[in-house]
Structure 1
Amino acid sequence: MEQGRARVAEPGAKLGVPPSSRLRSPPVLLSGSPQVRLPLAALLAAACTAGLVLSPAHAADVPVDHDRALREQLQELTDAPGGPPGVIAVLKRGPRTEVFRAGVAGTGTDRPIEATDHMRIASTAKAYSGAVSLQLVDRGKLRLNDTIGRVLPRLPRAWHRVTLRQLLNHTSGLPDYSADPEFLDLVSANPRRHFDSRRLLDFVAGEPLMFRPGARYSYSNSDNIAVALMAEAVTGRRYEDLLAQLVYRPLHVRSTSLPQGYRMPLPYMHGYDVTPPDPPEDVSEVLSASGVWASGGIISTPKDMTAFIRGYAGGKLITDRTRRQQRNWVNGASEPAGPGENKAGLAIFRYTTRCGVVYGHTGNFPGYTQLVAATPDGKRSLTFSLTTQVNKTNKPALLKRLRAVEENFVCALLRNR
């Protein structure tokens, strides 16, 4: 592939690749791409009280001490084969906040994860592009039926019929740039390569749509790149600036950013590749965020994520009219799947559990797995973060177990106290 077409900028020598002595062969998946498998060696080289489910296989009677049972389940996740070195869950009911955690923020230390530790939020970043674009709908800058052809005419003519609505609920049919072999080759050759984030769709510009727009659901990282480009086109402002104006400031989040490089701000929870029998390997700063951008590049903290999902799911950022459009659900699961039955809305998912409904988003990225969810009024929320990547392709059994634990936390969130 010619670098001119992809607009790839080479990093300086100081962005060197980690030593080859640390390379491994097990696969790692990029954020939200269940079918995209990259060898880690390549990446590094170049009824709420009805019962708490203690494992995916069975349910148990309600323990006397609900909080202790939840903490034990987090510990079980860290002890499971391929489980994370650390996990934190933040439950917030009105003004009351409870923090549950197990494991450590970094191997070789005894420091617990704090709610103010930074982390890669992976595909939960897609909810942020939804927060931006839906506010622009409210302000008359965009319409949900606006097409790529009208707003982004430079993109391939074959994609011109795709609407903003279809991008936001993953029914667009856009080919996923993060699955493109040329993109993967470049990432494998140098994981810290700096990409021109606004030209990521160039990797699939020669490909037709995968299906007729609106015909079916198919999760694609390309969708939210296009959403961010639309937001920039109609405002004349950088997406990063729109995030600050429309999301960070109204919700008073102060430790959230969308970087271009691979560095993590301090303090942070370290993310790991956990592939037994090898010891966990730190992959926190392996990949440049420029290659995922609006589809998964945001860095935040559990505290900030809690503030975000309460405002976003609770409708604080958008009008009731737009919110009704956001909640036109289609069949489709987030990636990885969240607790209970999943349905897709406009940059948000509905999770119907045995204890009730919450709205939110999930995400996974090398070193991290995320769930953020809140009640429809935004008054109760859950932020659930693991320091390893878990999805249906790399760790299906652990994902099944994780979803059961997440559902138990949702039940705890919804339980009357």
Structure 2
Amino acid sequence: MEQSRARAAHRRAKLDVPPRSRLRSPSVLLPGFPQVRLPLVALLAAACVAGPVHAPAHAEDAPADHNRALRRQLQELTTAPGGPPGAIAVLKRGSRTEVVRAGVAETRTGRAIEATDHMRIASTAKAYSGAVSLQLVDRGKLRLNDTIGQVLPRLPRAWHRVTLRQLLNHTSGLPDYTADPEFLDLVTANPRRHFDSRRLVDFVAAEPLVFRPGARYAYSNSDNIAVALMAEAVTGRRYEDLLARLVYRPLDLRSTSLPQGYRMPEPYMHGYDVTPPDSPEDLSEVLSASGVWASGGIVSTPKDMTAFIRGYAGGRLISDRTRRQQLNWVDGASEPAGPGENKAGLAIFRYTTRCGVVYGHTGNFPGYTQLIAATPDGKRSLTFSLTTQVNKTNKPELLERVRAVEENFVCALLRKA
């Protein structure tokens, strides 16, 4: 017990990172980094720093009275204290697509956001690792009760009883590598550092499980790293190749990738740190994706994410038998929490709103906040993207406002024609 307390005290002390530069140290919170502000030093000196420019909202593709109200709500988010410079939502009902947007894709130019702009999709990438692993379950390559010890024996013996099922619904008890002091120090010293993505969980290899596997829910970025490693181990293929074969091609995702570096493909929505009264700072290319990999490193577009969530939430990629297992719900919310009441399945969440139920995932990453959701049949979908990071730690009041707006969009999605 005393040793655990000493370790916790040491971690708290190291998480309080002092500034290493006279430059502003923005509230940059990595997924699972609830207490860390990254001093981005010289990297931000070269980044575009501009005033808060909010261009008139772009007309949606299919104007309607209710969309004017939705557009106004997005616009109000972009002008709220700490709000995103840009926001876009794509609603699709059958073959009909409506795009609602506000603000700008880039403050320097005032360019409007397009549904084909690239962005970091953050922890919604966890759904993609679910799509890969559950298809491997269907093909007999993996079983939901396969353990880390059976598939990844090199990982710590203390973790060997954890199953694929527990990794996918965040009941594994694996310690979160993104909260490890050594990992945080390395990111702080060099945000563009290239990590060996397949060794990320080594940062917590000496740590015991946080709780007995299956005992409770705790969102951990380590879970989906282990899922990707299991998929590689049983197929002999790189996770990036599995994504291409099992997700991108079947769903015709032509603008989706899992990079290792920090560069963004053009065109892209610029992601910002917004900390009033300072001007927004561009974080789009500040961090290397190698440090999040299967847990949150994918780059995509609203158009591609719409196609993904319709196929994934609608069950197109997996058998009915595996889908029934996927939709066994436990108490747990996505990070950040999605609209309405949240329940966790296998790499998917159920959002029960006042207007009905959708399945999906959320995510946040420096510069970006994401929600993807669809009806259980996949026929109606919502992709909702903001160009700043909003979560319960850095902007709790704004998060509640965002969740309310997301729920209004879900209600518009589910409204009868």
Same fold? TM cut 0.5: yes
Matches within 5 A, 1:249-398: 249-398=249-398
Cα contact 1:43–1:188 (8 A) shared by 2: no
The answer as to 2:52 corresponding to 1:35 is no
Cα contact 1:43–1:190 (8 A) shared by 2: no
Which residue pairs with 2:412 in the alignment?
A: 412
Matches within 5 A, 1:5-16: none
Give the match's secondary structure for 2:217: coil
Say if 1:43 and 1:337 are closer, same or farther in 2 by CA, change over 3 A.
farther
- Equivalent position amino acid for 1:132 in 2: V
Which residue pairs with 1:240 in the alignment?
A: 240
Deviation per residue, 1:163-191 (Å, 9 max, x gap): 00000000000000000000000000000
- Equivalent position amino acid for 2:127 in 1: A
Task: Provide the C-alpha distance between the structure 2 equivalents of 1:38 and 1:282, rounded to a whole number of angstroms.
Answer: 15
CA deviation after TM superposition for structure 1 residue 20, in Å: 5.9
Which residue pairs with 1:210 in the alignment?
A: 210
Question: Unaligned stretches of 5+ in structure 2?
Answer: 1-19, 46-63
Give the match's secondary structure for 1:250: coil
How many residues end up aligned between the 2 structures? Answer: 380
Give the match's secondary structure for 2:250: helix
Question: Unaligned stretches of 5+ in structure 1?
Answer: 1-18, 47-63
Which residue pairs with 2:54 in the alignment?
A: none
The answer as to 2:195 corresponding to 1:158 is no
Which residue pairs with 1:125 in the alignment?
A: 125
The answer as to 2:114 corresponding to 1:114 is yes
| TM-score, normalised via structure 1 length | 0.89
Task: Provide the C-alpha distance between the structure 2 equivalents of 1:25 and 1:269, rounded to a whole number of angstroms.
Answer: 22
Give the match's secondary structure for 2:364: strand
Task: Provide the C-alpha distance between the structure 2 equivalents of 1:24 and 1:211, rounded to a whole number of angstroms.
Answer: 38
- Equivalent position amino acid for 1:35 in 2: P
- Equivalent position amino acid for 2:289 in 1: A
Which residue pairs with 2:61 in the alignment?
A: none
Task: Provide the C-alpha distance between the structure 1 equivalents of 2:25 and 2:37, rounded to a whole number of angstroms.
Answer: 9
Task: Provide the C-alpha distance between the structure 2 equivalents of 1:363 and 1:222, rounded to a whole number of angstroms.
Answer: 15
Task: Provide the C-alpha distance between the structure 2 equivalents of 1:174 and 1:273, rounded to a whole number of angstroms.
Answer: 30
CA deviation after TM superposition for structure 1 residue 40, in Å: 4.0
Cα contact 1:20–1:45 (8 A) shared by 2: no
- Equivalent position amino acid for 1:39 in 2: L
Say if 1:34 and 1:335 are closer, same or farther in 2 by CA, change over 3 A.
farther
- Equivalent position amino acid for 1:172 in 2: S
Deviation per residue, 1:285-323 (Å, 9 max, x gap): 000000000000000000000000000000000000000
RCO comparison, higher one (Cα < 8 Å, 6+): 1
- Equivalent position amino acid for 1:178 in 2: T
CA deviation after TM superposition for structure 1 residue 109, in Å: 1.9
Which residue pairs with 1:141 in the alignment?
A: 141
Which residue pairs with 1:59 in the alignment?
A: none
- Equivalent position amino acid for 1:156 in 2: P
CA deviation after TM superposition for structure 1 residue 251, in Å: 0.2
| TM-score, normalised via structure 2 length | 0.89
Deviation per residue, 1:237-291 (Å, 9 max, x gap): 0000000000000000100000000000000000000000000000000000000
Deviation per residue, 1:335-370 (Å, 9 max, x gap): 000000000000000000000000000000000000
Say if 1:34 and 1:196 are closer, same or farther in 2 by CA, change over 3 A.
closer
The answer as to 2:171 corresponding to 1:171 is yes
Which residue pairs with 2:97 in the alignment?
A: 97
Cα contact 2:175–2:222 (8 A) shared by 1: yes
Task: Provide the C-alpha distance between the structure 2 equivalents of 1:43 and 1:399, rounded to a whole number of angstroms.
Answer: 30
Give the match's secondary structure for 2:402: helix
CA deviation after TM superposition for structure 1 residue 66, in Å: 1.1
Give the match's secondary structure for 1:27: coil
Cα contact 1:147–1:163 (8 A) shared by 2: yes
Task: Provide the C-alpha distance between the structure 2 equivalents of 1:356 and 1:297, rounded to a whole number of angstroms.
Answer: 30
Give the superposed CA RMSD.
1.5
- Equivalent position amino acid for 2:366 in 1: P
CA deviation after TM superposition for structure 1 residue 44, in Å: 4.8
- Equivalent position amino acid for 2:310 in 1: R
Deviation per residue, 1:350-392 (Å, 9 max, x gap): 0000000000000000000000000000000000000000000
Give the match's secondary structure for 1:215: coil
